[in-house]
Copies of this chain bind each other. A is one copy, B any other.
Amino acid sequence: MPDNTHRGGTAPAPVGRRERKKAATRQAIADAALRLFLERGYDDVGIREIADAADVSTTTLFKHFPVKEALVFDEEADLEAGLLAAVRDRPPGRSVPNALREHALRCRRADPDGDPRFAAFLELVDSTPALREYHQAMWLRHTTALARVIAEESGRPADDAACAALAHFALEAPHAARARGDRRQVIDRAFDLLDGGWRSLA
């Protein structure tokens, strides 16, 4: 039995008609959802309504997305690669924590010349508690992968406790700054803390 069902890592090529159609419905659902959410707010749009708008039954909807929150983070699937690359491919001389700092600052910036839909998206997530929590939980799932890369880069054992701690803290840093006026400041101090501590490790 030839296995053409798996998509090779980053390759987004849907091969059979089947998978193309599946991807299409999925996209239709996600699009309808995001449109409605942006129009009227996350909490004021029900599942049924989204399903109707995408011309799909609610059961079908839940076959594509496990929970309501997931409808929003459809595209945000592969940020892990970028995260790990930020550590691995950092300029020589830059410490691991500093590489993570730079990535954290670069990552969630609604830069003014990008398309405004992205800004609206960030605003939506940031202003909806359920989405914030879901996103953060999603983000933390990369902890072990990040810890492993840090271990490699610093010549420590793959399951080193210090690496695990650093990884977790680095991923939590943006969350620490939430709901404060001086987001940038807090993130900077947070990584100062981590950088100093990391250096002081034997």
- Which residues of A pack against B, CB within 8 Å? 133, 137, 143, 160-162, 164-166, 168-169, 172-173, 175-177, 180, 182, 185-186, 188-190, 192-201
Contacts and interface: CB of A to CB of B under 8 A. Distances in A.
B164 A193 contact: no
A200 B199 contact: yes
Nearest to A175: B168
Contacts of A133: 133, 137
A167 B75 CA distance: 33
Given A168-B190, A169-B172, A193-B193, 19 more contacts: A133-B137, A143-B176, A161-B185, A161-B186, A161-B189, A162-B189, A164-B176, A164-B177, A164-B186, A165-B186, A168-B172, A192-B197, A192-B200, A193-B198, A193-B201, A194-B197, A196-B198, A197-B198, A197-B200
Given A172-B169, A197-B197, A164 B180 contact: yes
